[in-house]
């Protein structure tokens, strides 16, 4: 499964809201899946919504290998929010560069503001915004 679109629906943030990730996990198992192979899930707890084994792959080492061919002297890996700072820090370690993260505030579904950048980013080039999925940009 190259993209698990419902992985962001992994918590109840309001009353009477279903957890979509669990519903889709159950549908896949009911349809006959006995193992799930996926790439770059939104968060590690998504594994817990499946009743079958989940193999979670990512490509950080391959991406780091690609970027290491460039001069990374003034480079910072930037996470768009604190929720993905751990993955951004792992990527930065692989590259031997520093890391920064945005302090994100969500005012509504379509109004998000990054109020501050946490980390040292003077005159640096942002190598990569470590977003988890296309929905993470919302």
Helix (H), strand (E) at residue 63: helix 60-67
In this predicted structure, what is the pLDDT of residue 87? 87
Looking at the fold, whether 71 and 115 belong to one and the same domain comes out as: yes
Looking at the fold, whether 113 and 81 belong to one and the same domain comes out as: yes
What are the pLDDT digits (tens) for 8-22? 555 555 565 556 777
Q: Kindly state the tokens that stand for 45.
A: 């707890």
Range of the domain at 88: 60-132
Looking at the fold, whether 79 and 128 belong to one and the same domain comes out as: yes
Q: Kindly state the tokens that stand for 40.
A: 């770059």
Predicted TM-score (pTM) of this structure: 0.67
Q: How many CA atoms lie within 13 A of 112 on its CB side?
A: 12
What are the pLDDT digits (tens) for 79-132? 888 888 888 999 999 999 999 998 888 777 678 888 888 887 776 565 555 554
Looking at the fold, whether 24 and 9 belong to one and the same domain comes out as: yes
- How many domains does the chain fold into? 2
Q: Looking at 1-138, which runs of residues are DSSP E strands? A: 36-39, 54-57, 75-79, 98-108, 111-118, 125-129
Q: How far apart are CA 73 and CA 116, in angstroms?
A: 23
Residue 109 phi/psi, 5° resolution?
-60, -30
Domain final residue pick, 39, 57, 75: 57
Partners of 79 in the β-ladder:
101
pLDDT confidence of 41, banded at 50, 70, 90?
confident
Looking at the fold, whether 69 and 40 belong to one and the same domain comes out as: no
* Residue 49 domain flag: yes
In this predicted structure, what is the pLDDT of residue 48? 80
Q: How far apart are CA 99 and CA 4, in angstroms?
A: 27
Average per-residue pLDDT in the chain? 78
Verify whether residue 104 is a known catalytic residue: yes
Q: Kindly state the tokens that stand for 22.
A: 């669990």
In this predicted structure, what is the pLDDT of residue 16? 53
pLDDT confidence of 1, banded at 50, 70, 90?
low
From the candidates 11, 68, 86, 104, give the one annotated as an active-site residue.
Answer: 104
């Amino acid at each position: 499964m190259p993209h698990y679109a419902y992985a962001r629906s992994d918590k109840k943030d309001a009353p009477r809201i279903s957890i979509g990730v669990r519903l889709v996990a159950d549908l896949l198992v009911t349809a006959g899946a006995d193992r799930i192979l996926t790439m770059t899930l939104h968060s590690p707890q998504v594994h817990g919504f499946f009743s079958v084994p989940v193999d979670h792959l990512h490509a950080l080492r391959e991406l780091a290998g690609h970027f290491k061919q460039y001069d990374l002297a003034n480079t910072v890996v930037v996470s768009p929010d604190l929720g993905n700072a751990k993955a951004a820090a792992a990527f930065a370690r692989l590259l031997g560069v520093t890391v920064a993260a945005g302090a994100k505030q969500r005012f509504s579904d379509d109004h998000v503001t990054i109020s501050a950048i946490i980390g040292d980013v003077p005159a640096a080039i942002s190598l990569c915004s470590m977003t988890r999925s296309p929905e993470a940009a919302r």
